[in-house]
Amino acid sequence: MKICHIVLTGGPCAGKTTALSKINEFASGFGYKVISVPETATEIISAGIAPGPLMSVDDFQRLLMSMQLDKYRLYNKAAEMIGGKTLVVHDRGLLDSKAYMSLQAWQELLQQFNKTEAGIWEMYNAVFHLVTAAKGAEQAYTTANNTARSESAQKARELDGKTLSAWNGHPHLRCIDNSTDFNGKIMRLLAELSVVLGVPEPREIERKFLIEKPNLAQLALQSNCTQVDIIQIYLHGKNSEERRIRRRAYKNGASYTLTSKKAVGGSERTEIERSITSKEFDELLIQADPNCEPIRKKRYCLMWNNRYYEIDVYPTAQNAIMEIELTSAGERFEIPPGIKIIKEVTTEKGFSNAHIARHGMPGELSGEKRTEYGKTT
């Protein structure tokens, strides 16, 4: 991609300042011009404008969003003028405000600026949440390095959780916790960034599991879960290339992507993905593969134990599919409580969406006994 926008967010005292420096150094080494967008809230508070007796929290967030949108347009225009490969790193993004407001006030703020959460997701290619030191690295927690911050460790933990929940649903949200020392934390962040930038090669490493369909009503009520509606259409591809367009709808908004994939082996594939407009989505429909049915599913984006899980539920299926994206093939992970694994299907061709679109749903997913090509027996 020519211009890549990423958000670096998280709880107070999470290491963002150091991370921004390391990101600059890392991306520059791969030929990217890096533009660092300063944290807007700190700018405003340092100027003497803060929520309190003279300004409500909601008014402050309204001012914050206005300034963030102006800065996004400004820095994106600057990236276009610079040309070449440019990485725009935002120290916090538009959805951070959701963590500080009531749901009603947040919805009113979106309406005022004619924005939707899905539309905001589309603005950023990836979101990296750095967990506050108050969770797992308490000895390192301090507010001395930022005069605009004064949160206690307990308040920092609460804000960390709310901020992570605010971004839940973004198609490339990654949580970097304190399970290693700080240097290891930064290295894990850079490993995730390398996947987004496609350096040295854009690899997608995922594990896929056939699971019993969970209690969807309970799942949807969890604060760490966001449900989106997906329509996925496969296009004509070249050789072993798989091309698809996808619409992700959430509440009253939607985002659109074009993705190209090629198998590398096992759980690894090269993947190139870019955002497109709704008009481009409609124009690409003419390239739809007539041998493939559109895939329709509900995706439950679950953040648990600082890891992102995607649970796909198909309209007629009795079971479901859960996917986990990893930074390395041997990376360890745990299964969230309440999820019952039937078996791993990472390398089983019949459970890929492309195969389902072409041949129908495998019997183990649908609950019916089917032949290899999806016909009921």
What CATH number is attached to the domain comprising 100? 3.40.50.300
Q: pLDDT tens digits for 234-290? A: 998 776 788 999 999 998 899 898 988 876 665 566 777 788 889 999 999 999 999
- Say yes or no: 123 and 258 in one domain: no
Per-residue pLDDT averaged across 50-64, rounded?
A: 93
Residues 231 and 186 in one domain: no
Residue 130: domain span: 3-197
190, 207: one domain: no
Residues 88 and 9 in one domain: yes
Residue 373 inside a domain? The answer is no
Please check whether residues 33 and 178 belong to one and the same domain. Answer: yes
Q: Domain holding 322: CATH number?
A: 2.40.320.10
pLDDT band, residue 176 (cuts 50/70/90): very high
Q: How many distinct structural domains can be found in the chain? A: 2
Mean pLDDT across the chain: 89
Cα–Cα distances in angstroms (integers) from residue 220 to residues 6, 174, 226, 318, 326, in the given order:
27, 20, 7, 18, 24
- Match 């102006």 to its residue by tokens: 70
**Final residue of a domain: which of 197, 231, 266?**
197
**Spatial contact of 255 and 281, defined as CB atoms under 8 Å apart:** no
Q: Is 232 helix (H, G, I), strand (E, B) or coil?
A: strand
Three-class secondary structure assignment of 28-92: HCCCCEEEEECCHHHHHHHCCCCCCCCCCHHHHHHHHHHHHHHHHHHHHHHHHHHCCCEEEEEEC
Q: Could you tell me the sign of the dihedral formed by the alpha carbons of 295, 299, 305, 306, in that order?
A: positive
* Calpha distance 377→371 (Å, rounded): 7
Which residues are CB-neighbours of 136 under 8 A, at least 6 positions away? Answer: 177, 178, 179
pLDDT tens for each residue of 93-141: 999 999 999 999 999 999 999 999 999 999 999 999 999 999 988 888 8
Q: Would 315 be classed as within a structural domain?
A: yes
| 3-10/86-91 β-pairing | parallel
188 and 295 co-located in one domain: no
| 375 occurs within a structural domain | no
172 and 238, same structural domain? no
pLDDT-based confidence at 210, cuts 50/70/90?
A: very high
Q: Which among 197, 228, 253 is the end of a domain? A: 197
Q: Is residue 372 part of a domain?
A: no
Q: Are residues 218 and 177 in the same domain?
A: no
What single letter denotes the amino acid at residue 244?
R
Q: Which of 19, 11, 33, 14 is nearest to 85 (CA)?
A: 33
